[in-house]
């Protein structure tokens, strides 16, 4: 015969068992960069296996590197018509922005003479509807609201090429470039647009796509830090507008890493998730300092997964780096 105390204890244990075993719903967002269109080894089927709600290109979607738009178009067609990429297109929505090689010139900026023609090919590759405002303005920057039954995510894709002023080469490297204290990365029109998009946004999460790295500032290659006033302006704008759960997405570097910075006036950390090297990455590990890095530097070919677990009044956000065999290489939790 069970006592009342024993019954109560058993019932509480049963409730705890149910609670602990409960699966919380999850939303998956996938992204990556740097994909040679001719490479026979691709990771599209691995990405599709995660069942992402969207795929986000973060640049170097092809390696165009040309002034001939017929060459650029042929390379886009090669990438798009690959059977495994077609399976991705059938499985999920695709968004994206360019970096330098699909823009048309290595480390290129506003001096590239074919940027308007190149922009058209990019938007066609991404199947951006003609009604989208991006078709009628300068630059390729875009904004989207990604929604499911659990959340709203604002995706802001910054154009770090079309308006960007000239890099200052270092005649005695390293570093490769010297700071340009007067130049712009985004241009005033794009800056105004970004402030409007961030101000009073009701999204639960804000993904700010920048093809080049923003937080890492110790390496000598392309980065926002080559334009220190612009980098600070970006941070100041995020502090001013205080969007919910901001995460910068970046590519370009043929590595993967997580970075975090605490900004004065912002109540939560600002994270950056770099995923680069869908088809090619570093051949061997080299020391590269990043005072803002969380965890280890990853040089394997990789893609990024943002896993958002929906709990009551809370979003548990995991940033995950996967390799070519769909193995989880490393991860971190964004603590907002």
- Give CA–CA dist 129/52, Å, rounded: 21
CATH architecture of the domain covering 27-334? 4-Layer Sandwich (3.60)
- Give CA–CA dist 331/273, Å, rounded: 10
Segment 130-178, tens digit of pLDDT: 999 999 999 999 999 999 999 999 999 999 999 999 999 999 999 999 9
Look at strands 142-147 and 152-157 and give their pairing. antiparallel
Residue 11: predicted pLDDT: 47
Residue 75: predicted pLDDT: 98
Tell me if 142 sits within 8 A of 128, measured CB to CB. yes
Which regions in the chain score pLDDT beneath 70? 1-22
DSSP string, 131-178: TSGGGGSSS--EEEEEE-SS-EEEEEE--SSSS----EE-SSPSSSEE
Tell me if 261 sits within 8 A of 232, measured CB to CB. no
Residue 286: predicted pLDDT: 86
- Give CA–CA dist 58/252, Å, rounded: 8
- Give CA–CA dist 53/8, Å, rounded: 43
User: Which of helix, strand or coil describes residue 290?
Assistant: coil
Q: Where are the domains of the chain?
A: 27-334
Residue 15: predicted pLDDT: 42
Segment 193-225, tens digit of pLDDT: 999 999 999 999 999 999 999 999 999 999 999
Which among 208, 167, 319 has a CA at the least distance from the CA of 258?
319
For the entire predicted model, the pTM comes to: 0.93
- Give CA–CA dist 150/281, Å, rounded: 35
Residue 101: predicted pLDDT: 98
Q: At what angle do helices 228-241 and 188-198 cross, to 10 degrees?
A: 20
- Give CA–CA dist 259/266, Å, rounded: 16
- Measured CA to CA in angstroms, residue 60 lies from 56, 78, 277, 280, 301 at distances of 12, 14, 10, 11, 14
- Give CA–CA dist 157/322, Å, rounded: 22
User: Which of helix, strand or coil describes residue 125?
Assistant: helix
Residue 4: predicted pLDDT: 55
- Give CA–CA dist 227/303, Å, rounded: 27
- In the block, residue with structure tokens 């995510």: 153
Tell me if 176 sits within 8 A of 220, measured CB to CB. yes
Tell me if 205 sits within 8 A of 244, measured CB to CB. yes
Residue 12: predicted pLDDT: 43
Q: Indicate the DSSP class of residue 302.
A: E
Which among 220, 205, 227, 209 has a CA at the least distance from the CA of 272?
209
Residue 3: predicted pLDDT: 56
């Amino acid at each position: 015969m069970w006592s009342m105390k024993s019954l109560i204890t058993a019932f509480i244990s049963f409730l705890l068992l149910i609670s602990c075993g409960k699966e919380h719903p999850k939303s998956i967002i996938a992204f990556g960069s740097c994909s040679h269109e001719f490479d026979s080894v691709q990771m599209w089927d691995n990405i599709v296996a995660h069942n992402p709600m969207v795929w986000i290109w973060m640049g170097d979607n092809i390696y165009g590197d040309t002034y001939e738009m017929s060459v650029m178009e042929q390379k886009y067609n090669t990438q798009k018509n690959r059977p495994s990429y077609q399976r991705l297109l059938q499985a999920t929505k695709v968004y994206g922005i360019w970096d330098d090689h699909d823009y048309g010139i290595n480390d290129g900026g506003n001096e590239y003479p074919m940027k308007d023609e190149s922009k058209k090919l990019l938007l066609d590759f991404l199947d951006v509807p003609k009604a989208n405002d991006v078709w009628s303005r300068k630059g390729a920057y875009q904004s989207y609201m990604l929604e499911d039954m659990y959340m709203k995510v604002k995706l802001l894709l910054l154009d770090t090429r079309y308006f960007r002023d000239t890099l200052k080469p270092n005649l005695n490297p390293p570093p490769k470039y010297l700071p340009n204290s007067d130049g712009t990365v985004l241009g005033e029109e794009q800056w105004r647009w970004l402030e409007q998009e961030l101000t009073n946004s009701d999204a639960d999460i804000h993904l700010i796509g920048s093809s080049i790295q923003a937080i890492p500032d110790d390496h000598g290659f392309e980065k926002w830090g080559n334009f220190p006033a612009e980098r600070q302006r970006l941070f100041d704008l995020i502090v001013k507008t205080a969007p919910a759960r901001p995460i910068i997405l970046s590519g370009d570097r043929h590595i993967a890493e997580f970075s975090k910075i605490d900004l004065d006036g912002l109540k939560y950390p600002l994270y950056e998730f770099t995923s680069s090297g869908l088809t090619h990455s570093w051949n061997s590990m080299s020391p590269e300092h990043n005072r803002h890095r969380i965890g280890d530097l990853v040089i394997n070919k990789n893609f990024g997964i943002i896993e958002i677990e929906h709990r009551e009044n809370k979003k548990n956000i995991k940033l995950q780096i996967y390799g070519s065999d769909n193995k989880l290489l490393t991860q971190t939790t964004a603590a907002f």
